[in-house]
Structures are given as structure tokens and as C-alpha cells.
Amino acid sequence: MTVLLMLCLFSTFLAYGVGKMGFSADLAAVQDIFLGKGSFQIGLDFRTMLSDEFQVRIPVACTVKEASFLVESGIMLVYYPWAQGPFMGLSVFQAGFSQGSETLDSLVNLNEVLLGWTFEFGPGLFVEPCLAIRDPSGTFSDEYSRLKGTFPCYTTFRGRLIFGWCFWR
């Protein structure tokens, strides 16, 4: 149901041509493999600019450890105070669906804050080093403690290196 809602939202943005659209991939999964955490997380997001300062992202991530996995998605609002460069993001809605774990519920409530910088190069290409702070308010501390117990790579602070392409407008 959530995935269907997000696809409808993304299709609406596409149909009405709100602004630049694109997608990106989180290349930080490399740190999970090299640090030998026993689990790893990969992520993608779809994005559109609402104005020069605001962007909506639909992140989709998967965290895996042996037979257990967590698929998460949501809606994130990102603010660029100077229309480029530094940004702050806040998840408006975020949830995860787990399978194969005895300690996690099948539906997990999540939230996170992003702080980063966008570097643009080439026609529509960009790189964003950023820091994700998961559950900064401590609202879902029980869920996050179980997540960290199941997936060692699921830490409170996560460095991300996002590479992407804006392909529309």
C-alpha cells in the first residue's frame, strides 16, 4: 500500500512537471562490506524539486543480514537554504517492512534527518556526501534498538555518499 501511494505521488509530480526530477543511489554500502559488520544496506531515491529551495524525495532502502532483511521507504522533505550546496532533510513519513527476523515486527516505524552538501557536475549529475541521523528525537527507540541488534550496520549515525542524475528539465 505504501509503495503504491509513493508511486502515485511520484507520478503526480511527473504529470504536472513540478520541477527537476531524478534518482540517486547510496554508495555507502561499501563501508558495510569493508568494515565487516555482517550486514549491509543499499538505497535508492527518487526526487523532484518543488522550488529552488525544496525537494521531495522518495527513498527506498534494503538492509540484509543472512536470511533477514528490512525494506524501508517513505517521503522526505529536503531544504536547500541557498538553492544549492548545503541541505537538510527530514522524513515526513518512513516505515520499514521486515522479514526473517524473530526480534523485529513486520512493520517498523522509522524517521531520520539528513545533513549534507550537493556538488553538481556535468549535465544533471551530482554527488552528495551526507550524514543521516536516525531517530534523532528518540521517538522510536525500541524499534531502533531491535534494528541495531538484528542489523549491525543500522547505526544511529550513517555516512552516505549519494551519486545521482537529474534527468527531467
> For residue 12, what pLDDT is reported?
58
What count of other Cβ atoms lies within 10 Å of the Cβ of residue 145?
12
Residue located via cell numbers 522550488:
51
| Terminal C-alpha separation, the chain | 29
* Beta strands per DSSP E along 39-102: 40-49, 54-65, 68-79, 86-99
What count of other Cβ atoms lies within 10 Å of the Cβ of residue 72?
23
Query: CA-CA distance, 10 to 23, in Å (whole number)?
Result: 11
Query: For every one of its 169 residues, what pLDDT tens digit does the chain have, with 9 covering 90 and above?
Result: 455 555 555 555 555 556 788 889 988 777 666 666 678 888 999 998 888 899 999 999 998 888 888 999 999 999 999 988 999 999 998 999 988 887 777 888 889 999 999 999 888 899 999 999 999 988 888 888 888 888 888 888 988 999 999 886 5
- Please give the backbone phi and psi of residue 64, each rounded to the nearest 5 degrees, phi first: -130, 140
> For residue 72, what pLDDT is reported?
92
What count of other Cβ atoms lies within 10 Å of the Cβ of residue 58?
21
pTM of the model: 0.84
User: Radius of gyration (Cα) for the chain, nearest Å?
Assistant: 16
